[in-house]
Structure 1
Amino acid sequence: MASNSFSAVAARLRSHGMAMPPALHNNPRTITALAVAVALSLPTASYALKSYRGFLALGPGGMPYNPLGWAIQGLLQLIAKWDTRSPAPFGKPANQKPYEPHGTAPFLAASPLQQRRGHRPDVPGYVAPQRQVTQQGTEGARARMTAFLGQLAARNPGLVVLEPSGLEGVGTPALWLDPAVERPAYLKGIKGELAHVHPEASSHVTVSLADAEELTRKGWAERHRLSGVAGTGIPLGYVMIYAPRDDAELEVWKGVVRAGLLFVGAGAGIEVVVDVEY
C-alpha cells in the first residue's frame, strides 16, 4: 500500500515537471508517513484558525488581543471549569470558609429575585474574555451602567473609587475598593476590583456566595471559568451578569452591584450608601 501511494505521488510530481527528492525516492515509507501527518494535522489547524477568529470576534479584554492572548487562554483551559451555570459550588462548606463571616449572607434586596425570562445568552467557552454573543445590550445601556458605578463611587468616598479596570484593561471603567481600605482575602487576587461593564453590557461583579448562588440558579449570572480555581486569585463569587435587555433588568443589575457593595462594606465595617438616583 505504501508503495502504491509513493508511486502515485511520484507520478503526480513528474506530470508537473518536478522530480522526487532522492531521499524520499529511496524511502517511500517516509513520504507516506509525511502524507499521513499532514492529513491528520489539517483538522487541527482548521479548528485552531476557527477558534482564533472566534477569540478575536469577542473584542479586546483581559488577554492580549493577538495569537499570544489566544494561546494563553487556551492553556488556561487545562484548569478552567465548565460547570459555570451550576449553583452547586457556592453551597459547599469547603468553598464558603474563605468568605466568612459574611460570604453566606444575602445582600440582594429583600424582595424575592424573579427568575430571568427566556433562555440564557450564548457565552463561548473561552477563558477570557468572557462575553455573551447573543442578547447583547446597547451602548446606551452600557453608558447608564457605567454612570451608575460612578454615582456609587461618588456617594461612597473612602470605600470605593472609579478607576480603569485592571482585569479588562484601559477603556473599561471599574468600581474598586478604596486603597485606604484593607482588602479582604477574597479580593486580594484581583487587587480590590469589584465590578466592571463589558462592551456588550454584560458585566463582572463580585458578590457574596449566597447572592451568587441565587443569581446563578435563577438565570441571571454564571461564574467566570476561573472563579474559585486555586492559584488564579479570582474569587468564587466573581460572576458574569448578563446584559440587561430592558429597564426592568437594568434595575435588577443595579441591585446586584448594590449587593456586592454591601457585601464588601459589611466586611470593612463601613456603612454603604446604595440609594443612588440615575
Structure 2
Amino acid sequence: MSSYINQFTNYLRSLPIHLPRTQQERLTLVLGTTAAVVTSLILPPLYRDYSLFISYGPGGVPSNVFGWMIVRGLFQPLRGEMFSTDIYLQRADALEGHGVGSEGFLTLAPEQARSVVDRPEVGPHAVPQRQLSQLPTDEIKEKLDARFRAFGRRNDHLIRFDRSRQEAHADAFFLANRLPPTDLAKATEGELAHLHSGGEYSAHFALSPADCKKVIEAGWGQRHGFAGTSALSLLSFGTKADMPAEYLLIYAPRNDAEIDTFIQLLEASIKYTTGREDVR
C-alpha cells in the first residue's frame, strides 16, 4: 500500500502546476474561484424556482423565463401578508347598512372546517397563485368542474361565462350584462370568480369581509398576494384599480363533502359580488 502512495505522491510532484506569481494573476484566480462558487450556490435554487413557476402553467403572466423574471423582479416585492383577519373587522363595520350585513352571507358548521395548522402549501410566487399540496383526484376535479358550470347556468340571471381576464386559461364568472356594476365588479373588470380548471382546481373569488374572516379562520383559503395592496395600480401606473382585500384563494376540495362546502362559499361570494340575494 505504501508503494502505491509513494508512486501517487511522485506523480503529483511531477505535474506542471502553475502558481500565480503576479498581483494580476492572484486577483484573476480569486475572482474566478469566487465566481465559480457563487454560481454553484445560486444557479441550482434559481433553476428550481423557475421550474416551479413554469409548472403552474398559464396564469396571467407569460409562462416563460421573461414572465418569471417579471414576477420575481417586479411583482414579488409588492406581495402582501395573506392570513391576518383584523382588516375584515373594520371592513365589515364600514359596509354594514350598504346591503352587506356585518355577519356576512356564510354559515360554516364546525365539521366543515379544514385544518388551520396543516394548510395546503401554496407556491411562493406572487402570481400565478397556485396550490401545491392536498390536491384533489381526477374524479373530484371532474365533479367540481361539473358543479361549477351547473352553478353558472343555474344563475345566468346574475352571472355569465367568459374567458378569465386575470388567468387567461379558463372560463370565469362575470357579472351579467343587465346588472349594474358593483364596486367590486368595477375593480375586477367584471370578473367575479374563476376556477383553476387547467391545474390544481383551487379558485379565486371575493367574499364579504365577515365571510373572509370565517373562510381564513376555517382553513379554507387565504388572500391573494396583491389583495388589499396597491400593487396593481403601481404596476399599471394607475390604470387599474387596486385588488380588494376580500379577494381570496379558495383551496381545492378533496372529497364530495368539501365540494358541497366549496359551492356554499361560491354562493356566498356571488351574493356579495352581485349585491343580490336570489342565488339559486
Corresponding residue SS for 2:78: coil
Between the aligned residues of both structures, percent identity stands at 28
Does the Cα contact within 8 Å between 2:163 and 2:171 map onto a contact in 1?
A: yes
Does the Cα contact within 8 Å between 1:80 and 1:127 map onto a contact in 2?
A: yes
Cα deviation, residue 208, structure 1: 0.8
What does residue range 118-137 of structure 1 map to in structure 2 within 5 Å? Answer: 119-137=118-136
Does the Cα contact within 8 Å between 1:103 and 1:209 map onto a contact in 2?
A: no
Counterpart-to-counterpart distance in 1, 2:252 and 2:128: 15
What are the ranges of 5 or more consecutive residues in structure 1 without an aligned counterpart? Answer: 1-13
Counterpart-to-counterpart distance in 2, 1:104 and 1:90: 10
Residue 261 and residue 45 in structure 1: after superposition, are their counterparts in 2 closer, same or farther (change >3 A)? same
2:263 is matched with which residue? 254
1:265 is matched with which residue? 274
Cα deviation, residue 272, structure 1: 2.0
4+ residue runs of structure 1 moved beyond 4 angstroms?
95-100, 110-113
2:245 is matched with which residue? 236
Residue 186 and residue 223 in structure 1: after superposition, are their counterparts in 2 closer, same or farther (change >3 A)? same
1:58 is matched with which residue? 56
Corresponding residue SS for 1:169: coil
Cα deviation, residue 192, structure 1: 1.6
Structure 1 length-normalised TM:
0.78
1:204 is matched with which residue? 204
1:69 aligns with 2:67: yes
Does the Cα contact within 8 Å between 1:127 and 1:225 map onto a contact in 2?
A: yes
Cα deviations by residue, 1:137-161 (Å, 9 ceiling, x for unpaired) = 1333333333333333323334210
Does the Cα contact within 8 Å between 1:62 and 1:128 map onto a contact in 2?
A: yes
2:24 is matched with which residue? 27
Counterpart-to-counterpart distance in 2, 1:71 and 1:252: 37
1:194 is matched with which residue? 192
1:6 is matched with which residue? none
Higher mean C-alpha displacement, 196-205 vs 34-43: 34-43
Cα deviations by residue, 1:143-189 (Å, 9 ceiling, x for unpaired) = 3333333333323334210122111113x121111233332223323
Residue 226 and residue 98 in structure 1: after superposition, are their counterparts in 2 closer, same or farther (change >3 A)? farther
1:176 is matched with which residue? 174
Counterpart-to-counterpart distance in 2, 1:141 and 1:97: 38
Q: Give the counterpart letter for 2:138 in structure 1.
A: E
Counterpart-to-counterpart distance in 2, 1:253 and 1:174: 16
Residue 153 and residue 37 in structure 1: after superposition, are their counterparts in 2 closer, same or farther (change >3 A)? same
Q: Give the counterpart letter for 1:119 in structure 2.
A: D
Residue 190 and residue 42 in structure 1: after superposition, are their counterparts in 2 closer, same or farther (change >3 A)? farther
Matched positions, count: 250
1:86 is matched with which residue? 84
Counterpart-to-counterpart distance in 1, 2:16 and 2:86: 65
Corresponding residue SS for 1:27: helix
1:217 is matched with which residue? 217
Counterpart-to-counterpart distance in 2, 1:129 and 1:103: 32
Q: Give the counterpart letter for 1:248 in structure 2.
A: A
